[in-house]
Amino acid sequence: MTGNPNFNPGSQPQVAALLYDQLGLPITEAGRATGYEVLQELLLRSNHPALKIMEKRRAVGHVQSDLTSYRNSADKHGGQLRTIWHLTGAVTGRLRSGKGKEGTEAGVLNFQNLASTATLQGKLLQSILISDPRWREALDE
């Protein structure tokens, strides 16, 4: 797509050069931005296949990052993912999880920000996160 074997899709300057210089896509009100919202706007305007590839590449990158965190947590906790659920929720009233007050718990994940299932990365992550089939037994104790 770029002709550059060293192209880094995570580099904002390289992505901007591809979109605006090489492909000639219109510069938005945000300028030569390459954020999610801008890519969505450009996709709606032009429906260019490069933007679809970029969207999928970013989704896969998010999943890879999340999976690395999950693997690190599982490695530190005997194959299980761990978090700390806080008794007080967030300001919005939802549950809150993550590291403890000191932030020193190794391998503890923040589950409150799992990707929405409306996104590609959310669908991929949902397919690998399966509850323990014995979860109901905890209710009987």
pLDDT in tens, 65-119: 888 888 888 888 888 877 777 666 666 666 667 766 555 566 666 665 555 556 6
State residue 110's pLDDT score.
62
Distance from the first to the final alpha carbon of the chain: 58
Q: How many domains does the chain have?
A: 2
Domain that holds residue 42: 1-47
Q: Do 66 and 108 sit in the same domain of this protein?
A: yes
The answer to the question of residue 114 being in a domain is yes
- Mean pLDDT for 50-61 is 85
Entry pTM: 0.56
State residue 104's pLDDT score.
56
What is the C-alpha separation between 54 and 34, in angstroms, rounded? 10
The answer to the question of residue 37 being in a domain is yes
Q: Do 123 and 66 sit in the same domain of this protein?
A: yes
Q: Is the pLDDT of residue 11 over 70?
A: yes
Residue 68: which H helix or E strand, with range?
helix 49-76
The answer to the question of residue 134 being in a domain is no
Q: Do 10 and 38 sit in the same domain of this protein?
A: yes
Contact 39, 51 (CB under 8 A): yes
The answer to the question of residue 135 being in a domain is no
Burial grade of 65 (CB within 10 A; 0-12, 13-18, 19 or more) = exposed
Q: Do 41 and 74 sit in the same domain of this protein?
A: no
The answer to the question of residue 141 being in a domain is no
The band of 16, judged by pLDDT with boundaries at 50, 70 and 90, is very high
What is the C-alpha separation between 120 and 73, in angstroms, rounded? 23
